Structure 1
Amino acid sequence: MLILIGAAVVFAATIGGFMYAGGHPGVLLHLSEFIVILGIAAGVLIIATPMHVIKEIIHKVQGAMFGKTPGKAEFFDILKLLYELFMTGRRNGLIALEEHVMDPTQSALFKRYPSVLNHPERRKFIVNGLKPVIDGKIKPDQLEDLMAAELKAKEIEMEHPVHAMQMIGDSLPAIGIVAAVLGIINTMSAIAEGPEVVGEKVAAALTGTMLGIFCAYGFVNPIAGRVRSNNASDMLCFNCIMHAVAGFAKGLAPLTAIEVARRSLDSAVQPGAEELEAAVKGLGTGK
């Protein structure tokens, strides 16, 4: 929602200032300039970006505009779920975790925390972290390196849409100049039609320059920044999970393992130590 409010402020400030200076918004609406700038930008994106990244850009932009970044409640759910899983493994043996890890969608523990269950990537990362522990295929002190490698791959993958959007944002001012030059060429071909026609065509050409800069710095680059911020929030979730699972695999008590994870969180979403301890009290005991 904030991104829509910000977009409204950008429009209001631009159009409002222009009108206050005596301009009429209608003179900014030249369809030919929109076709040139947006068309070239779309073509550049198609040339430079694989299709799966283009699809991810659409998904990320939708998430930036209408999605919700994980807050304290979501991190509480992650920590409480991990605590319950760890307590189950400590009380009944690691083999008791198999039913929850093999099919988390049918797990009674996962079903208690829909924010994790309904987020495929978080759910998968927890499962992938616990499977080697259950199978005994990896030494406990090697698990953190394994999960860190997976996190690094995720981080690189998340940056692909951001890089593509920034490339378009950085290109738009130059694309606006292309539109302006085309407009000047069109103007020169109509110079014999008189000052009024020439003035209108020059205004249209200048609109192209303005539109390229306006789209780049008013929308595309700021949205890319928001996508990067959302990616950082998602990485914080994965990092929290990694610290907890790796700590448990090394033999830390369940409460200590999630305390390590809690301390890895940003202060804006970090539960207090006493708050977390009170929240998990009674969990994982069959109550």
Structure 2
Amino acid sequence: MIGIIGIVCIFAMVFGGYLAAGGKMAIILKSLPFEMMMIGGAAVGAFLISNDMGGVKHTAKDMAKVFKGAKWKPDDYRDLLCLLFALIRIARQNPVEVEQHIEDPENSSLFSKYPKIQADKEAVDLICDTMRSASMNYDDPHQVEEVLEKRMDANLHHALHSSHALQTVADGLPALGIVAAVLGVIKTMGSIDQPPEVLGKLIGGALVGTFLGVFLAYGLVGPFASKVKAVVEEDAHFYQLIREVLVANLHNHAAAICIEVGRQNTPSHIRPKFADLEEALKAIKQDAA
């Protein structure tokens, strides 16, 4: 919603100010289709040249994040902590039982309580792979933390590809606008024998190219790239929470302490409240009893 409000604000303030100052939209609207074809078409072509098909699909999909925002909400972080708490308790009380959950999470009665987490392959794999390694005596906390850190860095680097691709397009748009403007000037020079009224409209049309390139770069594509990056980085906290809790578990802290370590390392605006989490954990303990 806030993304739509931002776009409306950009158009209203830019063109509203232009009209309020006495500007006329006719010359912009007349030149817009041709300038957009040159600038937008060249930008799309450059984007296709610099990315493979996977990158193109990834970027197209990620643009929806500008309007949807982060995937993981505060309630999801609470659910994740509850899931990890239950897994840690089972792993310590009955290692054989926990294998049923981490070896087949798709059919696990425990994972199925949290369908949104169960549907996220990376989160499930991160949990199951780490707990499986611990059951195989690969339980050095420092080594595991290093492995998880490298894995999450690689995933974050891949997830940020669409942001970098959009930012590259934004960086090139002003120059493409100049290209369109130069072509407009060339067209104007071909009509140099025309009266000033005609030349003025031709020059104005050429300048629309410069305006459009800068407007698209700093008013739309650049902010889209920044928003995608912000959303991806915020969602990364969800996977970092998994790392914090499972590494704390390898240090043999009490299950409740492991969960609190994860909660405390979650950013404040998405951190579950202590009382709410405590109530949810009590419900898990009662169900287990």
Q: Indicate if the aligned counterparts of 1:105 and 1:117 stay in contact, CA closer than 8 A.
A: yes
- Aligned equivalents of 2:132 and 2:5: distance in 1? 44
Aligned residue number for residue 62 of structure 2? 60
Q: Could you tell me the percent identity over the aligned residues?
A: 33
User: Residue 120 of structure 1 aligns to which amino acid in structure 2?
Assistant: K
Alignment check: 8 A CA contact 2:70 2:234 kept: no
Equivalences for 1:135-154 in 2 at 5 Å?
135-154=136-155
8 A contact 1:33–1:207 mirrored in 2: yes
- Hey, what does 2:92 align to over in structure 1? 90
Rounded Cα–Cα distance in structure 1 between residues aligned with 2:70 and 2:160: 19
Does the CA-based 8 Å contact 1:64-1:226 persist in structure 2? yes
Tell me which moved more, 158-167 or 65-74: 65-74
The residue type equivalent to 1:149 in the other structure is: K
Alignment partners' CA distance in 1, 2:162 and 2:16? 32
- Over the aligned positions, Cα root-mean-square deviation in angstroms equals 1.7
Map residues 268-279 of structure 1 onto 2, 5 A cutoff.
Answer: 268-279=269-280
Structure 1 CA distance for aligned equivalents of residues 63 and 217 of structure 2: 15
What's 2:252 paired with? 251
TM-score scaled by structure 1?
0.93
**Unaligned stretches of 5+ in structure 2?**
none
1:134 corresponding residue in structure 2: 135
CA-CA distance at 1:219 after TM superposition? 0.8
* Equivalences, count: 286
Q: 2:197: which partner in 1?
A: 196
1:55 partner amino acid: K
Correspondence for 1:19: 19
Q: Cα deviations across residues 148-187 of structure 1 (Å, max 9, x unaligned)?
A: 1101111221222222211111111111111100110011
Which residue in the other structure is 2:216 paired with?
A: 215
Report the Cα offset of residue 255 of structure 1: 1.0
- Measured against aligned partners, the alpha-carbon deviations of 1:89-144 in whole angstroms (never above 9, x if no partner) come to 12212x32222112212111111112211222222222222221233345344211
For 1:72-104, what per-residue CA distance to the aligned partner results, in whole angstroms no more than 9, with x for missing partners? Answer: 1111111111111111112212x3222211221
Structure 1 position 66, deviation (Å)? 3.1
Tell me which residue corresponds to 1:7. 7
Whether 1:231 aligns to 2:232 is: yes
Contact 2:188–2:199 (CA<8 Å) still a contact in 1? Answer: yes
Runs of 5+ unmatched residues, structure 1? none
Q: Trace 1:80-119 onto structure 2 (pairs within 5 A).
A: 80-93=82-95, 95-119=96-120
Q: Structure 1 residues 83-92 or 268-277, which shifts more?
A: 268-277
Secondary structure at the counterpart of residue 283 of structure 2: coil
**C-alpha distance in structure 1 between counterparts of 2:254 and 2:195, whole Å:** 84
Amino acid aligned to 1:233: E
Alpha-carbon distance in 1 for matches of 2:11, 2:214: 13
SS in 2 for 1:265: coil
CA distance in 1 between partners of 2:91 and 2:80 (Å):
17
Distance in 1, matches of 2:46 and 2:25, equals 29
* Contact 1:183–1:201, Cα closer than 8 Å, also in 2: yes
Instruction: Name whichever of 159-168 and 71-80 sits farther off.
Output: 159-168
Partners of 1:52 and 1:37 in 2: how far apart? Answer: 24
The answer to whether the 8 A contact 2:70-2:235 is kept is no
Trace 1:260-275 onto structure 2 (pairs within 5 A).
Answer: 260-275=261-276
Asked if 2 retains the 8 angstrom alpha-carbon contact of 1:133 and 1:140, the reply is no
| Residue pairs, 1:32-43, within 5 angstroms | 32-43=34-45
Q: Give me the whole-angstrom Cα distance separating, in 2, the residues matched to 1:55 and 1:114.
A: 26
- Structure 2: how far apart are the matches of 1:261 and 1:80? 11
Q: Which amino acid aligns with 1:210?
A: F
SS of match in other structure, 2:193: helix
Contact 1:162 1:228 in 2 (8 A): yes
* One-letter identity of the residue aligned with 1:234: D
Residue 2 of structure 1 aligns with an amino acid whose one-letter code is: I
Aligned match of 2:183 = 182
Tell me the amino acid that sits aligned with residue 5 of structure 2.
I
Q: Deviations over 1:220-246 (max 9, x none)?
A: 111111111111111101110101111
